[in-house]
Chains A and B, each alone.
Chain A
Amino acid sequence: MATTSSSTQLTTGPAAAALLAAGLGLLALGLSHVFSEASVPFKDAMQALGNAWMPGASGIGPYSGKETVALLVWFSSWVALHTAWRKRDVSLVAAGIWTFMLIGLATTILWPPVTHVLVK
């Protein structure tokens, strides 16, 4: 009986893909900010990236490009991971742990005192 119930369940791969992609997108946000603080050409590239599509991007500076990087990494990794795992069962515990570690890492490197230490 239990086997019948579990055989009709959806696979957990798409859930793991959605989780990890969010973590990767947020880590990309953190890294793009650190690199932007460390390198003027990178900061200019962030500004140009934001200007390429976002209304009012020039008014918010390179922040627009960092948002863009986060969105691109989030959506592209979500599509890639979903495609790879859509028919598989993936451990949600492992995916959750990795995701929350990525979020924690992103939060840490975005805390300005830490960012300034990394950039030095």
Chain B
Amino acid sequence: MTDPRLTEPVSARSLWIVIVVLGLIGLTTVLLTAPANTLMGPGAWAIRGALHGTCAGLFMVTSTIGLFQAYRIFAGKVWNLAELQIGSVINAAMALLTIISGNWIYIPYRTSGGPRSHFLEVAPEIHQVFFEFKEFAALFSFPLAVVAAYLLVRYGGELYERRGLSTVIAALLVLVFFYFVVTFGLGAAITKLKSV
């Protein structure tokens, strides 16, 4: 006999309410214990930096979940299709937001007296090799995440029957994570050396 707790439908609305309430509690705690201006830093471009850092942090979460989903898809383990589809769309959206906020923070990076001119003066290879590669590698995640989401949404349940399709989607999600990690690592290192 099936345990009734396992067949009881899960209320998505309740789950979202819990997430929102927890988020508000967390935000309130952070703002009360660490004022926003202290959190973001004293720089003139603090808001841009905080926004890009937040987007990248959230993208780290979604791309890591994507990596786990890739393993489950590739290994043929049981998965929840709706969870995969929604997760992949959010992953693609976070990739886009991280790129847009990255473009925004790139403006102060290139201004006179900014990190770019600093690096070119004291250690040109940091800009000419690592930053230049980072700025392009960052763009790879978005189309790959979009294609993964498109395939998951379009083909849906057919993934169970099509090994080639599920393998390709798993590979795409792994690549999204790979290009994210490369970009995030280089970005974090560059920011530690000289922030905007």
Q: Which residues of A contact B (CB under 8 A)?
A: 5, 9-10, 12, 14-15, 18-19, 22, 25-26, 29-30, 33, 54, 56, 59-61, 63-64, 66-67, 70, 74, 92-93, 95-96, 100, 103, 106-107, 110-113, 115
Residues of A within 8 A of B151 (CB): 15, 18
Contact of A112 with B171 in the complex, beta carbons under 8 Å: no
Cα distance A20–B147 when bound, in Å? 10
CB distance from B138 to the nearest CB of A (A): 10
Segment of B7-15, B21-29, B73-81, B160-168 in the binding face = B160-168
Cα distance A87–B81 when bound, in Å? 25
Q: Which residues of B contact A (CB under 8 A)?
A: 103-104, 106-107, 110-111, 128-129, 132-133, 135-137, 139-140, 143-144, 146-147, 150-151, 154-155, 158, 161-162, 164-165, 167-168, 171, 175
Contact of A29 with B164 in the complex, beta carbons under 8 Å: no
Contacts A60-B107, A74-B143, A103-B175; A110 near B168 (Cβ below 8 A) = no
* Nearest opposing residue in chain B for A71, CB measure: B143
Residues of B within 8 A of A26 (CB): 139-140, 143
Cα distance A104–B136 when bound, in Å? 13
Contact of B165 with A59 in the complex, beta carbons under 8 Å: no
Contact of A33 with B165 in the complex, beta carbons under 8 Å: no
Cα distance A18–B132 when bound, in Å? 27
* Nearest opposing residue in chain B for A2, CB measure: B161
Contact of A103 with B107 in the complex, beta carbons under 8 Å: no
Cα distance A61–B106 when bound, in Å? 10
* Nearest opposing residue in chain B for A60, CB measure: B106
Contact of A103 with B140 in the complex, beta carbons under 8 Å: yes
